[in-house]
Amino acid sequence: MIAGVVGAVLLGAFTWSFLEYVIHRWLGHDRRFRGNPFGKEHLRHHVEGDYFAPTPKKLAFAAVATAIMGTPAVLLAGAYGAAWVVGFVAFYGAYEVLHRREHTHAGIGAYGRWARRHHFHHHFVDGRSNHGVTSPLWDLAFGTYQKPEVIPVPQRLCMAWLLDPETNAVRAEHASRYVLRAAKA
């Protein structure tokens, strides 16, 4: 029973990881679907950089999605269905925290530094690539993965953690991975 519950939690996390990619790639970037509420918020996030949809909106979405998915999951699979929902919601929460921290903090550890570079390649180099915020798994599966090289960050979208406040240049510890791109004339 415990192995089944753990497996269901992991399957829930895996399911979110897939939906994270699908939502981001198609609802956020495919012009055919971009008029949806997520697409509008996502476009604003790309244009403003430090904009994130308000937390109450995200919590409302999570509550509705949990009710829509959770009820049938529990009715069909009992404790395993509930465990799947827990894994799904927990990984969604982890995604939200990680995504915000990528924009607001320098990143902790190898994974934090990797995730930030992977995501900023998407933001500043090629928006058609690297749609997975927490993992490259689905980008690799669907052929949208690009290995980040030096990332040119537009000055107007530059994150506070990247700049040295005294010189207004990229902090020395990030200079091999990021450069500031001047505004176009």
How many other CB atoms sit within 10 Å of the CB of residue 127? Answer: 13
98-132 tens-digit pLDDT: 999 999 998 889 999 999 999 999 999 999 999 99
* CA torsion angle 155 119 24 88 (round to 10): -140
Against a cut of 0.85, is the pTM above it?
A: yes
Tokens encoding 131: 């749609």
DSSP state of 183: P
Give me the sign of the Cα torsion angle 96, 77, 11, 68: negative
Q: 């990143």: which residue's tokens?
A: 107
Q: Which H or E run includes 151?
A: strand 151-154
